[in-house]
Amino acid sequence: MIPSTFPPKDEIARLTARALLEIKAVHFNAETPFTLASGLPSPTYIDCRKLISYPRIRSTLMDFLTITVMREAGMEAFDNIAGGETAGIPFAALVAERLALPMTYVRKKPKGYGRNARIEGTMTEGQRVLLVEDLTTDGGSKLSFVDAIRETGATCGHTAVIFYYGIFPDTEPRLAAHGVTLHHLCTWWDVLAEARAQGTFDAATLSEVESFLNAPRAWQDARTG
C-alpha cells in the first residue's frame, strides 16, 4: 500500500536515526576502531540488515523510503525496483510492494553457471529502474549495479538507500557523473545529533566520532601510518 502521509525530510532523518539507535544498529568505538571493507579504520559502524528483524520499524522506514522517492523523483518515475545483492534485496522487495511494481535483484557478479546472469527476475528494455540498497559510503558499489541494469537496455538514474554516510564530499558528484541521483533517509550527522540528544554514548566517544566525521581521511591516515 502506497503511504499517504509525507513527514518533512528533517523529521524523517531524525526518526530514522532514532530507530537505528533503538535497535542497536549503530556502533561507536573510538578506542578500538572497526575495520571497514576497504581495510581502513573507523570509530563508526552501522548494520542496516538488523532492520529486517523489527517489523514495526522496518515498515515505518520503508514507508519513509517510498515517500522520499515519490517526493524527490516522482510518483510515476519507475517501472521496476531492483535490489543490490545481498543487503538491498529485502528492502527493494518492500518498496516494490508499496509501489505495486515488479521487483528484481542484481548480483555483484555473474553466478558462473546456467545463464550466467547478473539480473534475477524480469527486467526489460526501456524500463525505468530504481536501485534500492541498505546504505552507501562513497557510492562505488552502486556504479557496478547500475551498469548491470543498463546492460539490459533498461535505464537507471536513481538509487535509494536507508543510510548515507554523508561525510565524503565526492560521493554525490561521483554518482551524478554516472547519471545517478542519490536519495536517502539519514546520515551519520543525523545519528550523531540523535545520539547526543538521547545520551546514548559517552561524551568522549561522541567527540571522537565527530572528529572522524569532520575529517574521515585525516582520521584514518593518523591511525594507519
Please check whether residue 197 is in contact with residue 22, taking contact to mean a CB–CB distance below 8 angstroms. no
128-136 vs 119-120, strand pairing mode: unpaired
Model pLDDT, residue 159: 98
Cα four-point dihedral sign 209, 213, 217, 219:
negative
Q: Where are the beta strands (DSSP E) in the chain?
A: 26-28, 34-35, 41-42, 44-46, 80-84, 103-106, 119-120, 128-136, 155-164, 181-187
> Is 116 contained in some domain?
yes
Which is nearest to 68 in space by CA: 128, 16, 127? 16
163-168 mean pLDDT: 95
CB atoms within 10 A of CB 177: 11
Q: What's the pLDDT at 117?
A: 82
Q: Minimal CA–CA distance to 132: which of 102, 99, 162?
A: 162
pLDDT tens digits for range 92-108: 999 999 999 999 999 99
Average pLDDT over residues 178-188: 98
CATH of the domain at 197: 3.40.50.2020
Q: Is residue 215 part of a domain?
A: no
Range of the domain at 113: 9-204
Mean pLDDT of 25-49: 90
How distant is the alpha carbon of residue 206 from its chain centre? Answer: 23
Task: Give the global pTM.
Answer: 0.94
| Residue type present at position 214 | N
Residue 9 confidence (pLDDT): 96
Would 33 be classed as within a structural domain? yes
Residue 55 lies in a domain: yes
169-180 pLDDT per residue, tens: 999 999 999 999
Residue 3 grid coordinates: 503511504
pLDDT, tens digit, for every residue of 53-89? 999 999 999 999 999 999 999 999 999 999 999 999 9
Q: How high is the mean pLDDT of the chain?
A: 93
Tell me whether residue 225 is in a domain: no
Total number of domains constituting the chain: 1
Does residue 63 lie within any of the structural domains? yes
Asked if residue 1 belongs to a domain, the reply is no
In this prediction, residue 138 carries a pLDDT of 84
Residue 219 lies in a domain: no
Side-chain-side CA neighbours of 6 within 13 Å: the count stands at 7
**pLDDT in the model for residue 184:** 98
pLDDT on residue 110: 81
- Reading the block at residue 116, the C-alpha cell is 550466467
In sequence order, the β-bridge partners of residue 42 are 34
Q: What pLDDT score does 40 carry? A: 82
34-43, 90-99, 143-152 — which is least confidently predicted? Answer: 34-43
Segment 22-42 shows an average pLDDT of 89
Question: What does the alpha-carbon distance between residue 112 and residue 133 come to, in Å, rounded to a whole number?
Answer: 23
> DSSP characters for 40-89?
-EESEEE-GGGGGG-HHHHHHHHHHHHHHHHHHH-TT--SEEEEETTTHH
Any residues with CB less than 8 A from the CB of 27 and at least 6 apart, and which?
34, 44, 45, 46, 47
